[in-house]
A and B are shown apart, each in its own frame.
Chain A
Amino acid sequence: MILAIETSCDDTCAAIMDGDRLSASIVSSQTEFHALYGGVVPEVASRHHLELVNPVIAEALEAAKVSLSEISRIAVTNRPGLIGALLVGVSTAKAIAYSLGVEFVAVSHLEGHIAANYLSPEPMEPPFVCLVASGGHTSIVMVHDYRRFDLLGQTLDDAAGEALDKGARLLGLGYPGGAEMDALAACGDPEYITFPVGLNKQGNLDFSFSGVKTALYYKLKKLGGEEIETHMADIAASYQASVVKALVGKTIAAAMANDCAQICLSGGVSANSELRRRLFEACDSQDIRLRIPPPELCTDNAAMIASAARYLSAIPFPEYLSIGAMASGGFAA
């Protein structure tokens, strides 16, 4: 039985996995948990994780109806992220592993997003090409098998989710406003404005989104208040379409180049309706099978960390006591 802990960003998360079955997954911003521990959205600060980590773990154990003594392996996200935030999870995990005398596994957040695809209701088997698109990541990964990955491409500047959130901010929709932009774009004309598509260079699989954001700033300045107001939905749709076009184009190109007939999507941006629609269309026309995990497994959670930990080697005692948190870094070194 695995207990997984994730504190790399805003949410404090814990999950319990029993073999292939996910028994519990608790995320601190979940409404029911919020009601119990006060309705403040946690800041990205270690003290919030510190306050929440024990109650979140306790809640996960209770929801799974297991006791700590039944846990045989502790998994924790140790990279990448804000060191102080990561350290809360890592130190907690070490303490539990040490006191129970059980296995300790360190997981990268990116490996976690990939492993979200191995969970029910529709577990995916490698090989597949995985697009991880969130507020902090945009990576295309070739997943050869459960333990072997190749990073095919990544963003060279802004993440896709960040491009959408900041674009929404420029449109006056608040921050983070990716979801609001998605809703607004649904009734807009994506061909109203042509934005530069966030492709870096043709022929490679890297992304660049910062230019799209700057283009939006100057476009808004040129259009002026009245036209912006009248065509808000069209501008949002056009902007979103340019971000999505890059994601879809490069992901399909990655699958074709690697002769791979399966694509998985993970990360918070997988909730974007334009991305889902365009990727489904593109996969359909190329006879590629597409799988998108349910939203609660795409956004930050510890279930995906537990899932990844099933395929990683434990770090023996006492070596794991010196495992640190790392600000950067992706796959197991």
Chain B
Amino acid sequence: MALEILSRSEEQTAALAASLAKLLEPGDIIFLSGQLGVGKTFFIRHAAEALGISEPVTSPSFTMAQTYDAGHFRVHHLDLYRLSGFSADDAVDFEEYFENDAVTFVEWPERAKPYIEGPDVVIRIDHVDLSSRRISIESSNARIASGLEERHAGSGD
């Protein structure tokens, strides 16, 4: 299942993030790719808000990981932007962020290839102009894929 949406405003992107979040369950891993300043953290902030996180979701570029408590599960927000020369040994540091008790968002997942893999959802955000973004969402997870299809049938362009 692949969905491609042209979002024309921050509000539209926020709504899309919230609608995806409704389909997520603990154990799900979501990859987000796209250039600096395209709005990856923005997308995650609104998805996390829909998952019940009330505190501000800030960029974890520096510490590489931030964890939030959503009540009966946790939300991990990883940002691998600063990583270079990632190896199998380093992957150990991230194992605890991929357990079944949390929804895990990963920005810049390509920095850790091939050691971090198996995403349930792959999101790519591209710049169009100051307020518009092209957002593609792909899911190989049957539960999420059918949910996306239901919600967004015909809304792609």
Contact with A along B69-105 (1 / 0, CB 8 A): 0000000000000111100011011101000000000
**CB closest chain-A residue, reference B68:** A328
Contacts of A134 in B (CB 8 A): 62
Q: A43-B83, A156-B56, A157-B59 are in contact. Are A83 and B36 (CB under 8 A)?
A: no
Let me know if B84 and A216 touch, CB within 8 A: no
Let me know if A328 and B67 touch, CB within 8 A: yes
What's the Cα separation between A156 and B61 when bound, in Å?
14
The contact size tier of chain A is 35 or more
Which residue of the partner chain, among A83, A155, A162, contacts B65 with CB atoms under 8 Å?
A: A83
**Is B37 an interface position by the 8 A CB rule?**
yes
Let me know if B59 and A210 touch, CB within 8 A: yes
Contacts of B7 in A (CB 8 A): none
**Is A214 an interface position by the 8 A CB rule?**
yes
Which residue of the partner chain, among B58, B63, B90, contacts A157 with CB atoms under 8 Å?
A: B58
Contacts of B90 in A (CB 8 A): 43, 45, 47
**Is B64 an interface position by the 8 A CB rule?**
yes
Interface residues of B in 105-145 (CB under 8 A from A): 127, 129-130
Q: A169-B36, A214-B37 are in contact. Are A83 and B62 (CB under 8 A)?
A: no
Let me know if A159 and B59 touch, CB within 8 A: yes
**Is A9 an interface position by the 8 A CB rule?**
yes
Contact with B along A127-156 (1 / 0, CB 8 A): 000000011110000000000000000111
Let me know if A162 and B36 touch, CB within 8 A: no
Contacts of B89 in A (CB 8 A): 45, 47
Contacts of A157 in B (CB 8 A): 41-42, 45, 56, 58-59
**Is B39 an interface position by the 8 A CB rule?**
yes
What's the Cα separation between A170 and B38 when bound, in Å?
12
Contacts of A47 in B (CB 8 A): 89-90, 92-93
Q: A46-B92, A210-B41, A217-B127 are in contact. Are A82 and B58 (CB under 8 A)?
A: no
**Is A15 an interface position by the 8 A CB rule?**
no
**Is A293 an interface position by the 8 A CB rule?**
no
**Is A44 an interface position by the 8 A CB rule?**
yes
Interface centre among B59, B62, B84, B94 (most CB of A within 10 A): B62
What's the Cα separation between A39 and B81 when bound, in Å?
23
Let me know if B61 and A158 touch, CB within 8 A: yes
What's the Cα separation between A80 and B84 when bound, in Å?
22
**Is A85 an interface position by the 8 A CB rule?**
yes
Shortest distance from the beta carbon of B66 to any chain A beta carbon, whole Å: 6
A-B residue pairs in contact (CB < 8 Å), sample of 25 = A9-B62, A43-B84, A43-B85, A44-B64, A44-B82, A45-B90, A45-B93, A47-B93, A82-B93, A83-B96, A136-B62, A136-B63, A137-B62, A154-B56, A156-B58, A162-B61, A166-B37, A169-B36, A170-B36, A210-B42, A214-B38, A217-B38, A218-B127, A218-B129, A327-B67
**Partner-A contacts on B (CB < 8 A):** 35-39, 41-42, 45, 56, 58-59, 61-68, 82-85, 89-90, 92-94, 96, 127, 129-130
- Besides A45-B90, A158-B41, A159-B58, 18 other CB < 8 A contacts? A9-B62, A9-B63, A43-B85, A44-B83, A47-B90, A81-B63, A82-B63, A84-B92, A85-B93, A136-B63, A154-B56, A154-B58, A159-B62, A166-B61, A210-B59, A216-B37, A221-B127, A327-B67
Shortest 5 CB-CB contacts between residues of A and residues of B: A136-B62, A84-B93, A214-B37, A327-B67, A217-B37
**Partner-B contacts on A (CB < 8 A):** 8-9, 43-47, 80-85, 134-137, 154-159, 161-162, 166, 169-170, 175, 210, 213-218, 221, 327-328
